[in-house]
Amino acid sequence: MTTTTEQLHPPVLEPGDYTKYKIILGALGVVVPLLVAVLFYYKNIFRIAGAGPYLHALPAVNAVLNSLTAVALLTGYYFIRQKNVLAHRASMGTAFGLGALFLVSYVAYHSQVESTHFGGVGAARAFYFILLLTHISLAAVTVALVLFTLYFALTGQYIKHRRIARWTFPVWLYVSVTGVIVYFMIAPYYPAG
């Protein structure tokens, strides 16, 4: 008798009609990036008086969270290549948790503090803005990719999970790594806190 992944590792959510979860995840995949954009561009509406100086360490915290997310993603990838599903789940759950913490920290900082402008010139400036543009664009897509990849895993739809994870993994890893690079490139231009 052949044992399948589904038999060894049953879905976390009970079988049933998952339509409501798909709708919620689809909505979150659109609403979260839009909410981040609103908080970023209309920060004066949401600004808490005096909060800015207390948040000056958050860009470094965000870089650490992005770094740890990248490590968790690579670890999860390693474990699934070794067919160690439980360790893969733990690693990817860690990546998801770190990503959620990053998102909260990112929104807290950028909704309260004025944007820092990159001061580099020439090729460094062009490289920075290309990196930043691809980072931001893919970060918006990553939210929906991560949510649906997680959804398919939790509902035991492992074929769909594997299919979407082939896209989610490299995109999420790129966003995590470029987030750290962007931080190091702009860090010298942050105001002293």
What's the mean pLDDT when you consider all of the chain? 86
Where do the domains of the chain lie, and which CATH numbers do they carry?
17-46+56-189 (1.20.120)
Q: Name the residue among 31, 63, 46, 182 with its Cα closest to residue 111.
A: 46
- Whether the per-residue pLDDT at 193 is higher than 70: the answer is no
Q: Identify the pLDDT of residue 11.
A: 64
Residue among 78, 95, 81, 87 at smallest CA distance from 149? 95
Question: Which DSSP category does 40 fall into?
Answer: H
Give the pLDDT score at 160.
94
Mean pLDDT across the stretch 112-132? 92
Across residues 167-191, what is the average pLDDT? 95
**Which pLDDT band, with edges at 50, 70 and 90, does 15 fall under?**
low
Which CA distances in Å does 86 have to 26, 70, 93?
27, 19, 10
Q: What is the pLDDT of residue 67?
A: 98
Q: Which residue has the higher pLDDT, 42 or 32?
A: 32
